[in-house]
Amino acid sequence: MACAICEIRKEKRFCPAVHGRICPVCCGREREVTLDCPSSCEYLQQARRHERPRPMSQLDQESLFPKVEVRQSFIYQREPLIVGLSYGVAQVARADRSFHDRDAIAAITALAKKYQTLTGSGLYYETALASVPQQTIIAELEKMIAQYRELEQKHLGYSTLKDSEALEALVFLLRMAHGRTSGRPKSRAFLEALFAQFPEKSGVVAPAEAGSRLIVP
């Protein structure tokens, strides 16, 4: 029988994205491009095991906020914030499986730009977002930053988190996202890496993996 996509080459593997059998060429060419591949697909899993991370040098350097230095000491000191932001993205994406890496990257970028502007001028400039998923992720990230400051206030009597540090945490998360994603339009490699970091138990994220994520050290 012919491939369900090209209808020319012989089908050799089942594709859960089209619920039919396709040829290896179409599988490799259309994977996470036109095909919304589920994470359970054995061919997607196999491809990821052999796929090399994208070199940062091949990316648009401006998209990585090159002027923002992410200090090693900062990563250690603000780890609860970084983990909380990561958990927030995972929580939103897990609730809606239509989200892709590019939605998360666009949302983190937009919020980082807001903090970059705030750090430089003290003013916020709202930027139009392309999609509802991006707005949802931004709202969750902003909530995580606010919760971190509230916990600092509760434990220390004041908040020490600066806007420049919130920017630093967002840029760290953004660079991690760029490093994880395949770059294909429908890639979910970054999001699924977060799902693995914050596993569900019986459909619910375990308390140890959720509520304690923003504990102030």
Is residue 206's pLDDT more than 50? no
Q: Which of 50-59, 98-107, 162-171, 206-215 has the lowest mean pLDDT?
A: 206-215
Supply the range of the domain harboring residue 184: 69-214
Tell me, yes or no, whether 100 and 175 share the same domain: yes
Q: What is the pTM of this model?
A: 0.84
Residue 120 identity: G
Tell me, yes or no, whether 152 and 189 share the same domain: yes
Considering the domain boundaries, does residue 61 fall inside one? no
91-125 CB burial, b ≥16 within 10 A, e <16: bbbbeeeebbbbbbbbbbbbbbebbbbbbeeeeee
pLDDT of residue 193: 93
Tell me, yes or no, whether 97 and 194 share the same domain: yes
Name the helix (H) or strand (E) containing 200: strand 200-201
Tell me, yes or no, whether 102 and 139 share the same domain: yes
Contacts of 114 (CB under 8 A, 6+ apart): 124, 125, 126, 127
Tell me, yes or no, whether 76 and 111 share the same domain: yes
Q: What is the pLDDT of residues 163-198, one digit of tens each?
A: 999 999 999 999 999 989 988 999 999 999 999 999
Residue ranges of alpha helices (H) inside the chain are 24-30, 42-50, 72-77, 79-95, 101-121, 132-156, 163-180, 189-197, 207-210
Considering the domain boundaries, does residue 128 fall inside one? yes
Considering the domain boundaries, does residue 161 fall inside one? yes
Tell me, yes or no, whether 77 and 25 share the same domain: no
Domain count, the chain: 2
